[in-house]
Chain A
Amino acid sequence: MNIIQLNNVSKSFEQGGQSFTALSNVSLTITKGEYVALIGKSGSGKSTLLNLITGIDHPTGGHITVADTDIHKFGESSLAAWRGKNIGIIFQFFQLIPTLTIIENILLAMEFVNVIPKDQRQNRAKNLLTQVGILEQANKFPSALSGGEQQRAAIARALANKPEILVADEPTGNLDSATAKSIKAIFTDLVAAGTTVIIVTHEDISGTDFDQIIQLKDGQIQPHNSTVSEMK
């Protein structure tokens, strides 16, 4: 079952008075429960593609369907609600709200989307923190946590509203190798549990059990024939 479908999607930007094409006629399909890697050089269009899939950005051409929904028909607020419900986003620099504790960060996501009943939120947040292995850090502020712990917290927050899709932009790019490995293990577990996981990465993907590898070059999908390390 297809969960993400892109048909001839293009995206151009105006920069310095000139038009710059970030993505050109990209078409792809991702099925439910797939573990997908999005690879390519800097400026190849990876982040742009991710932003289009999550509804953070709008395409200048083509059509995108995510979870049977034409997301670009939504207004800004409806899109935010839809995104909060269907897609969990993990950023490279964790991007936790610094003034909230770890558990409050998760509860905030639940409060925004309001799909988890209020009386279940605390327990769910604790379960998620247990799942990512940082329950003991629940009441600490992000600044008190290590990078790896912050990224685990960010994953827990991304899972707060039981999304079908999890997208992560360079989730281990800022972590040491041991921590990165443990984070990748969480993603593998999530895929095993049926979540569709899309990861943008620069890292060597050899030995990683991706179902699909999408390689971008100059805004277009290329056949994947090399490891990520060769592309840098």
Chain B
Amino acid sequence: MSIIFKKSMRDIQQRFRSTLLAILALTIGIWGGGSLLVSFYIMSNDLSANYLLTKPYQLSIQSKDFAKLDLDNLHELPEIAAAEFRDRAILRIEVKPDEWLPLWLYSVEDFDQLSIAKFYPQAGQFPPAKGTIAIERNNLLISQLNVDSVARAQSNGKLIDVKISGIIFDPGQAPSTQDAFIYAYTDEANYTRLSGKATHQKLIIRFNNVKTQQDVKQAYAKLAIQFAAQGIKIEASNIPKFDQHPHQFQLNTILMINGSISFLTFIMSMVLISQLMNSIFTRQTRQIGIMKAIGAKRGHILRIYLTYLLSISAVSIAIGLPLAVLTGKKYSDFIASVLNFDILTTDLPYFIFAIVIVLGFILPVIFSLPMLRNAVHISVNNALADYGIEAGNNASSSRKTSSMGMNIYSLAWRNLARRKGRMLVTMLTMALGVGIFLTGFNVRESLSQFLTNSSNSMQYDLKVVLKNTVPPETASAPFNDIAAISSIEGWLDGVGRVQTDAIATANSIGLVAMPYDNTLNKHDFLQGTWLTGAEQLEFVINQQAASEFAPIVIGQQYTISIAGQDISARLVGMVREFDVAKIYIDIDKYRQIAKLDDEINSLMMVLNDRSYDNVLRVKKQVERVIANQGIEVVYIISEVEYTKIVFDHLNIILTALLILSLLVLSVSAMGMGSAMGINVMERTREIGVLRAIGATPKMVIRLFVMEGFMVSALSVLLGILLALPLSAYGAKFFGNLILGENTPLDFTFSFMGFAITLIVTLAFGYIASRLPASKAIKISVREAIAYE
């Protein structure tokens, strides 16, 4: 073994703790960064792959005239990749005693010949036995339903027993755990039996040679002409986001957080490595001088320290990479379980390993280049003259001592200034950690604020959406005996993804018709104002509907399709909400257009006691009335449940944000810890001198702790300055990602986050300086003075 290699290995042994810390930092960097890279690869591929493997539909068309359609001829058209009838009815099903959820019941012509919007058997019978249903596997998590259970379903005011014979996996559906729907699939005869609806009224289509939603729109326009020629009148159509899973936004957000945090974690662990290498070089400067004096060329010095560095990398990669693969896969499994998709990636491609290995070797070298350069280029004379810390600039200029004399604060401050570069790097690293951590809290607060606003926008507690429009008195009469209800207001409305089954525009934008002067809505406005009750037809949109009306100009006239008519209306405002595309108009105006009498379909109930438990208790009472009286209901939802649904959608993002920002803070804290440790270690001799001239161990510790506090406090200050623009950007970025384009969240400063950050950072500063200082004072004064 070459002596040069031996020396590198012995350096590792001798600087075992520093080396261990460097290995730990790099391992964390490789582990954290690598696992996020692995999960990024798996998830960015697999949700989309799960979804695309189902051959999702790109267009759905509703018509009662499909008897005139020759489906075989349709299949022959070159632009049609697949087309099937897949009718859907919304019923209700009892998932637990007195707990009902909307049931999306799909009719399937032939379970064995699915060509579009495919799903896969998981348990029980497949196809489900005639007269039974198969439910989606994610439904099991929110219900007591399972194979062989018989549940009560409500359809057309009647209660029907439904047998579940199978469990399927439908990657195309939003997870039930978040959207609170039960998805069921059955044969056409049973569909008609349960829903009372005819089949073959909804056609789903997938096209050839389309790449964007715009292409689909064009293909649909052509198809609509052909249908019209065949006498098929289209009642409604829907073009979902092009080949995109309903919850792709969540995954996109998580992937974005993953990507940026993994980059930061890696970079920060590199900063830590560079600090450690700096300390090692600092301590070995004289050795470098000696080696050069006895004949070492630059290449020899470079080899010694490269060997050292690459050995650290090799060990860190050997530990970090398997951990990265393991946790990356586990993390992907976790996200997959939350979003209800299967992990399809079994083997990671070699390039993932190559990226981690190459970065693991190259980045520490790049980040240590200034130190390597110094080590290689330092002259023998300068190297031999190096005795550790120099007084720096302070020594060359005189400094007035205050009349109070030298105190511990000014001494600590001057000490920090001795290694300006290192302290600056330490503070910047810590500030970055603080900035990211605080940004995590601030963005979380912005999302929480948005949730609060969403909750506040609904001043009612329960909403019952009826299947048919009825006079208000008729609608509310069954509930008059429930004393807990203080008032009921009637609207024409739906909510969320069942909106379009209540009332909607022709192109499937949900419609909410309510008294313009109602007191039950306090919307969160992005632009404009609420309906004014003017003579002219006005409407308000939410941000999801904005793309349909782009460019958005408040006060401008737009054409909206209501009750089969194209009407010109004035846009007066745009609200922000976590919901599908919707427009709001005055109920009286809607009735005039739709030629409805004084009728409603939604009961907005306000309770006397609005507490969570009471709302759920009253909801059960309402459910019982509905079940007992056979009221035909699309669904019933409480405001608190709606808020929970929204929260569940965002929670995974919030959690990921906090965990990952904590990772960044941890790595930066390690950076501070190592820098403070090096600071103490380098000044061992100085500690000896201080003690020799009378400083007590307590004073020495106080001095270092004060330095630690100063670094922490400055880092927090810098971190806050960094967090402000980052948080503003984060609020904008996540708003756009979660709620849609041009929908920023409001910037919010989290005081709790600030308090936690401050406490954590100061505690890190204290521990990072206290521990090494306590250790250093245990060395005898004689040993400390002789320390090199």
Contact = CB atoms under 8 A, between A and B. Distances in A.
Interface of A: 16-17, 51, 54, 56-57, 76-77, 80-81, 83-85, 88-89, 91, 95, 97-100, 104, 107-109, 111-113, 157-158, 160-161
Nearest to B377: A76
Interface of B: 2-4, 6-7, 10-11, 13-14, 286-287, 290-300, 377, 379-381, 384, 396
B4 A108 contact: yes
Of A17, A91, A111, most buried by chain B (CB within 10 Å of CB) is: A111
Contact of A100 (B7, B296, B300): B7
Nearest to A15: B396
B3 A111 contact: yes
Of A17, A76, A80, most buried by chain B (CB within 10 Å of CB) is: A80
B272 to A, nearest CB: 23
B295 A56 contact: no
A98 B4 CA distance: 13
A57 B10 CA distance: 30
A158 B296 CA distance: 13
B286 A108 contact: no
Contacts of A89: 293-294
Of B3, B10, B290, B295, most buried by chain A (CB within 10 Å of CB) is: B295
12 contacts: A56-B293, A57-B381, A80-B380, A81-B295, A88-B294, A91-B290, A95-B286, A99-B13, A107-B3, A108-B291, A112-B300, A160-B294
B295 A112 contact: yes
Contacts of A81: 295, 297
Given A77-B299, A89-B293, A100 B3 contact: yes
A77 B380 CA distance: 11
A108 B4 CA distance: 7
A89 B291 CA distance: 11
A51 B4 CA distance: 25
Query: Which A-B residue pairs are the 4 nearest by beta carbons?
Result: A84-B295, A99-B10, A77-B297, A112-B295
Of B4, B294, B300, B396, most buried by chain A (CB within 10 Å of CB) is: B294
A157 B293 CA distance: 11
B287 A97 contact: yes
A69 B365 CA distance: 37
Given A17-B396, A56-B381, A99-B13, A104 B6 contact: yes
A112 B10 contact: no
Contacts of B14: 98-99
A160 B291 CA distance: 13
A73 to B, nearest CB: 16
A85 B295 contact: yes
Given A57-B379, A77-B297, 18 more contacts: A51-B381, A54-B293, A56-B293, A56-B379, A80-B298, A81-B295, A81-B297, A89-B293, A91-B290, A97-B291, A99-B10, A99-B13, A99-B14, A108-B291, A108-B294, A109-B295, A111-B3, A161-B295
A16 B296 CA distance: 32
Nearest to B383: A56
Given A85-B295, A104-B6, A111-B4, A95 B290 contact: yes
Contact of B295 (A51, A57, A76, A83): A83
B297 A112 contact: yes
A98 B14 CA distance: 9
Contacts of A85: 295
Contacts of B2: 111
A84 B294 contact: yes
